[in-house]
Structure 1
């Protein structure tokens, strides 16, 4: 199995003055082949470009060295490793159990759960449970799993094909989207719903304020009319 550059460098191979060979096969920072050069020349090129000389293949004759920003590379490599571990730890396998002769209503309900799991970025293990004489008809399980895989194909793909183990048959579905993407969409949807609730609350408050103002106008006492108010303004007193 070939060893990647990341795997080689993770072993803290020699860099710059720690390299103790007379000449090296030099690779440029963009992967270009410079050729076999004296170690002093390779170190000089590294200094001129403000880069490090890293021995990436010490077993070669002569050893292969590459010009790179070693500190930046180690940092980026560590970030990738942490992200990979985080993704692995976030991988959850849900399980959904079905009977080979499941009725239509139950099938739709369980299919809805499978779709919800997949859209959430989780894998789903589908288990068909056989009982009694059903074990002699494995095609019922195969057909049901194939139907389910087709029905949820927009959200998941078959990672592990149907396999029978004793009285049960299993299939694993993998989400078509990453869990991080699903989580981001969930956050967007949650923010949208929160904005809608805030807008509805603001509209309700505005309506309540309008009704209060209208009520105040209706209950405002009318000015009492005095004797002078009943006199004809054209009559001289």
Structure 2
């Protein structure tokens, strides 16, 4: 039997290579100043001279353009912003689950809904599952009323993503956060 290889995830979250100052290979570049104004096409040396006056770096922001576009800015700050964007892109909202029963007490329901509200405010979707036991299956209308009550109580922070539906002993539905 052959050995199984472990998948390499190191390259998945890697930031693109960004050239700065002497690393820029193009002879002439389009320069954007620290204030965002177009300074025109010039050599990398001239751009580095301007950057040095401001105490900043020449950072290549669009290497594939003709001529390549560089910006006079702080390299460290630019990399920090790129990392922050990457992290934000990698974050996907999680699905949280809350389980109820048709005979739940008022206070218990308030506690569960408070938790659901917290999840929704953090941007997560919430799957609410109402479990029926034994003879509760004969009174599905009570369960559906509870589902409608929950939806009404969370209406200010949530919209229904998946309508309440019954599958076996469960009635479940999914709420998604409302856009602010």
1:31–1:46 distance in 2 versus 1, CA, 3 Å: same
1:38-74 CA-to-partner distances (Å, cap 9, x unmatched) read 3222111111111111111111111111111112333
TM-score by length of 1: 0.50
Q: Tell me what 1:97 maps to.
A: 100
Which residue of the other structure, out of 104, 114, 117, is the alignment partner of 1:116? 114
Q: Tell me what 2:154 maps to.
A: 152
User: Whole-Å Cα distance in 1 between the matches of residues 105 and 159 of structure 2?
Assistant: 18
User: Whole-Å Cα distance in 2 between the matches of residues 23 and 165 of structure 1?
Assistant: 66
* SS at structure 1 position matched to 2:18: coil
* SS at structure 1 position matched to 2:61: strand
Q: Tell me what 2:32 maps to.
A: 27
Larger gyration radius, structure 1 or structure 2: 1
Question: In the TM superposition, what are the counterparts of 1:63-102 in structure 2 within 5 Å?
Answer: 63-75=68-80, 77-78=82-83, 80=84, 93-98=96-101, 102=102
Q: Tell me what 1:161 maps to.
A: 162
Q: Tell me what 1:56 maps to.
A: 61
The total of aligned residue pairs comes to: 156
Q: Tell me what 2:174 maps to.
A: 171
User: Whole-Å Cα distance in 1 between the matches of residues 21 and 115 of structure 2?
Assistant: 51
The structural deviation recorded for 1:97 is: 2.8
Contact 1:97 1:127 in 2 (8 A): yes
User: Whole-Å Cα distance in 1 between the matches of residues 138 and 70 of structure 2?
Assistant: 67
TM-score by length of 2: 0.62
User: Whole-Å Cα distance in 2 between the matches of residues 158 and 107 of structure 1?
Assistant: 24
Q: Tell me what 1:183 maps to.
A: none
Higher strand share: 2
The structural deviation recorded for 1:36 is: 2.4
Stretches of structure 1 lacking an aligned partner (at least 5 in a row): 1-8, 178-237
Contact 2:32 2:38 in 1 (8 A): yes
Point out which structure has higher relative CO (alpha carbons under 8 A, 6+ apart): 2
Stretches of structure 2 lacking an aligned partner (at least 5 in a row): 1-13
Contact 2:96 2:119 in 1 (8 A): no
Contact 2:151 2:160 in 1 (8 A): no
